[in-house]
Structure 1
């Protein structure tokens, strides 16, 4: 019969053997394993340090470029928009800081800003299309006819264009008597608000895209609604630029990408996705001049941009230019 002492000795022997095995195993593997880990860690640290240095260099160069452009902006845009009135249009989620900086550059270019309108989330809410349609049908001039394929926002954009912009220089700075109730009714309905006197019709418009792409199941619809407004205002005036920030990745609800993806709209509406940078604000001015010449372009650094900035052009319309750009 095996006594307790035998069991105890056996158990101790087993654990001792395990301990010896562990010690021998770690001792044999310690040097190459630790050395390999050290080499990997050193390589990762070196790579990170190099990337940080590269980022710091790029940031420094960007800051230098921004400083140079900012100090030269007044000279770069001087007189480019003299005699033009520019309507500013804010959308839900757009940056007021970007809008204020852009307005300053537009004024440096000689443009007059009669006022601005701010479209609300309710305006772009797909659930409110019935209300929007009802107001448009109630307020539109008798001679305003919509295509059978027009969406709710296409029709609303046409009405807003008749209210806020014109291609007729003789009408610039004067309200449209046929759309006199549009602003007050849309304001009462919570669809927009105004600052200044935007009813004194402008020739051009800058529309500011949301800083972040629309999200959720209605993202594409809302981005499409914003495209409709930009396009409608462009057709009703002498040109529109949709300005904002380039998205890190293109999402279905990104308004600037939506314009660039619409081949027909992108032939009329210009986009600038660097509106938060001094160079981008110069690009907005140059884009408006390009619009006056009957052309459009997609500018910035994001997907779909064809150049960082347009070539400065004469504002004389081409012979083939029709109403709108």
Structure 2
């Protein structure tokens, strides 16, 4: 007969065996596992250090390239826009610092800045589209034909007649037929005026917002600025839209332009405005516009190349218009 002592000894033996197994398993298996983990950590640490060194080298290289281009900008753009006047259009959310740097490059290229209009948030608010249409039609002079029923396209055509011209002889003069248009749009809180933009320019440059639009209004907001670009291009010798690479993301104005076959075929875009080389490309894109061509330039989505293929050609400094 098996007594209680036997059962007790058996239970103790079982637990002792389990304890011995756990100790042996820990001793035999932990060292290789720990060594493997340590080796993996060493590999990852080395890779991380390598990537950090590569990033530092690329940043130093980019900084060197930017310094070199910045020093050479006057030579790279000299004479490209001599005799031309440029209207600046700042979209809501565009960078003021980049605008100032762009003005400097345009001036070094020989251009005159006729003035600037800053588009307000109210202009691109879909809820204001009907109001914009009601404001535009009564201001239209008799000789101007509006493109249709789209309020943004109609407003663009009216503003183009007020701000730009394709005729060199009219450059620097006001369109008497559209007197009061800028005051009306300014008074309605749709835009603000700096300088003398009513003295019409031959070219227009639009600065896109840095941040893409989001939500249900995004398509209309970006589309309103694309319509403005198309209208200014139709009324001038050329228009370019410029900004940073984020403007090529979904909801960005440059992305919206590049998605439109008809406007993109006429209006150029540059998505590297925050790079010294990109600001040179902006000048080249306007020069290309004068020559009747357009392109999508930069490093973002749907850019065809970094700069116009004909940018190496230096125009005569006495040439104005095309």
Q: Normalising to structure 2: TM-score of the pair? A: 0.90
2:91–2:119 CA contact under 8 A, matched in 1: yes
Deviation at 1:151, TM superposition (A): 2.2
1:264-283 equivalent positions in 2, closer than 5 A: 264-283=262-281
Equivalent residue for 2:294?
296
Alignment of 1:97 with 2:100, yes or no, is no
How many equivalent pairs are there?
Answer: 312
Q: What CA distance in whole angstroms lies between the structure 1 residues aligned with 2:197 and 2:19?
A: 85
TM-score (norm 1): 0.89
Residue 201 of structure 2 is matched in structure 1 by: 202
CA positional deviation for 1:10? 10
Residue range with higher mean Cα deviation, 157-166 or 45-54: 45-54
Cα separation, 2, equivalents of 1:218 and 1:9: 80
CA separation of 1:230 and 1:10: change in aligned 2, threshold 3 A: farther
Cα separation, partners in 2 of 1:109 and 1:22, compared to 1, 3 Å: same
Counterpart residue number, 1:121: 121
Indicate conservation of the 8 Å contact 1:289/1:314, yes or no.
no
Equivalent residue for 1:34? 34
Contact kept? 1:102, 1:281, Cα under 8 Å = yes
Q: What residue is the counterpart of 1:134 in the other structure?
A: 134
Q: Which has the larger displacement, 201-210 or 15-24?
A: 15-24
Asked if the contact 1:272/1:283 (under 8 Å) is kept, the reply is: yes
Contact 1:241–1:284, Cα closer than 8 Å, also in 2: yes
Q: Give me the whole-angstrom Cα distance separating, in 2, the residues matched to 1:166 and 1:314.
A: 24
Q: How does 1:55-204 map to 2 (within 5 A)?
A: 55-148=55-148, 150-204=149-203
Q: Deviations over 1:34-81 (max 9, x none)?
A: 122112212211221221111111111111111111001011111111
Following TM superposition, by how much is the alpha carbon of 1:314 offset from its aligned partner in structure 2, in angstroms?
6.3
Q: Is the 8 A contact 2:147 2:157 kept in 1?
A: no
- Confirm or deny: 8 A CA contact 2:79 2:315 kept in the other structure: no
- For residue 87 of structure 2, give the secondary structure of its aligned residue in structure 1: strand
Contact 1:292 1:315 in 2 (8 A): no
Unaligned runs of 5+ in 1: 1-7, 317-323
Q: Does the CA-based 8 Å contact 1:124-1:222 persist in structure 2?
A: yes
Segment drifting more, 51-60 vs 198-207? 51-60
Alpha-carbon spacing, 1:20–1:315, altered in 2? closer, same or farther (3 Å): same
CA distance in 1, matches of 2:13, 2:113: 92
Following the alignment from structure 1 to structure 2, what is the Cα–Cα distance between the partners of residues 188 and 106? 30
Deviation at 1:219, TM superposition (A): 1.1
Deviation by residue 1:146-188 (Cα, 9 ceiling, x = unmatched): 334x522111111111110000111111111111111111111
Residue aligning to 1:5: none
Q: Is the 8 A contact 2:249 2:301 kept in 1?
A: no
